[in-house]
Amino acid sequence: MIDMNQIFANTFLSLFKELWMFIPFLLLRFYLKSSRGKGKLGEFAVNIKTKLYLDSSIYHNLHDITLSTKDGTTQIDHIIVSIYGLFVIETKNMKGWIFGSQNQKSWTQKIHKHTNTFQNPLHQNYKHIKALQDLLHLDDNQIFSIIVFIGESEFKTPMPPNVTKGGEYLSYIESQEKQCLSSNEVKQIISIIQNNRKTQGRQTDKEHIKNLQSKYSNTSICPKCGGELKKREVASTGNYFLGCSNFPKCRYTRDI
């Protein structure tokens, strides 16, 4: 007599073994589509290009640096230290049309009919620069802000020269030819940053996100993606809350 239960169990087990092989790939794909995954992928791309195309004996690349500040922490994608100054890089892995100007509070990303807002990355990087200046006591002419967009994006408004796409940031760095730091100062700066940075890892990232949420608790800026928080209503109860304008990509909410 045929045992149908056994046949079903064997078939299910066989399918499960085959599908199990694809689970890591599915998880990786999901992670790379998340805002965190996209950010890490963008940072990785900049890290590789920096190592390949900048002379490592002159330009010293530090990445994923979290520093303590007076009001919490700040997280910096890349710091390139050289005798020509510090280059502080904020990466944005985005696609679509990008609209913005130097003084705007928020910039806009448009993909077909969908529009998202995000914090002006120049303002975001300014906070990183001030944290480094407090730590290292550097003048404005010794530190440079650079924004690097990675991905299939296109600027639809004029951008300043330090807002770049792809590998254009390399030319911007190499265009700074006036020495403003000695070799000994470069070594000291690297040592100070390394000694003051927090340990890389998920726990540090969690603490940083918690600090951001506390910092922006009384503002209209989303601490997760930099979008605008807007007042929303729960249809079933009539209660109100603040939701990110980039929903459903970003699902951050805050009670009112």
Same-domain status, 173 and 209: yes
Low-confidence ranges of the chain (pLDDT < 50): 1, 27-28, 31-32
Same-domain status, 226 and 142: no
The pTM (predicted TM-score) of the whole model is 0.73
Same-domain status, 207 and 244: no
Tens of pLDDT, residues 203-213: 777 776 676 66
The answer as to whether 40 is a domain residue is yes
Cα separation, 122 vs 161, whole angstroms: 12
Residue 5 burial (10 A CB sphere; 0-12, 13-18, 19+): exposed
Backbone φ and ψ of 198, nearest 5°:
-80, 155
Same-domain status, 186 and 242: no
Q: At what angle do helices 121-136 and 183-196 cross, to 10 degrees?
A: 100
Total tally of structural domains belonging to the chain:
2
The answer as to whether 108 is a domain residue is yes
The answer as to whether 18 is a domain residue is no
Residue range(s) defining the domain that contains residue 166: 35-215
The answer as to whether 27 is a domain residue is no
Same-domain status, 57 and 124: yes
Same-domain status, 134 and 235: no
The answer as to whether 4 is a domain residue is no
